[in-house]
């Protein structure tokens, strides 16, 4: 029973990463070659970084407008909390 629970948990994490990876790629983000859970996007002089950790995201941008825009977009696309 415990083995089955771990399998289901592992599968749900894989499904989540597949879904979010597709979303980020559609949104113009590129995945780091050396760190597969790090995504980045550049717009002019601005850079935006996203790091995935299981079900959490850590993001930072060189512009507060990029940060706010990303947060609003993510909250409209996915159920999430801003901590």
Of the options 1.10.260, 3.30.310, 3.50.70, 1.25.40, the CATH number for the domain spanning 2-77: 3.30.310
Taking residue 14's Cβ as centre, other Cβ atoms within 10 Å add up to 10
Handedness of CA 41, 47, 51, 52 (dihedral sign): negative
Q: What is the pLDDT of residues 4-28, one digit of tens each?
A: 655 555 677 788 888 889 998 998 9
Whether the CB-CB separation of 57 and 29 falls below 8 Å is answered with no
pTM: 0.76
Residue 30's pLDDT band (cuts 50, 70, 90): very high
Using alpha carbons, select from 13, 12, 24 the residue that is nearest to residue 73.
Answer: 24
């Amino acid at each position: 029973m415990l083995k089955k629970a771990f399998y289901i948990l592992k599968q749900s994490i894989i499904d989540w990463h597949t879904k979010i990876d597709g979303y980020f790629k559609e949104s113009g983000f590129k995945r780091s070659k050396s760190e597969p859970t790090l995504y980045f996007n550049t717009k002019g002089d601005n850079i935006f970084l996203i790091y995935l950790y299981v079900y959490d995201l850590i993001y930072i941008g060189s512009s507060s407008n990029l940060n706010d825009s990303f947060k609003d977009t993510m909250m409209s696309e996915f159920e999430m909390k801003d901590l």
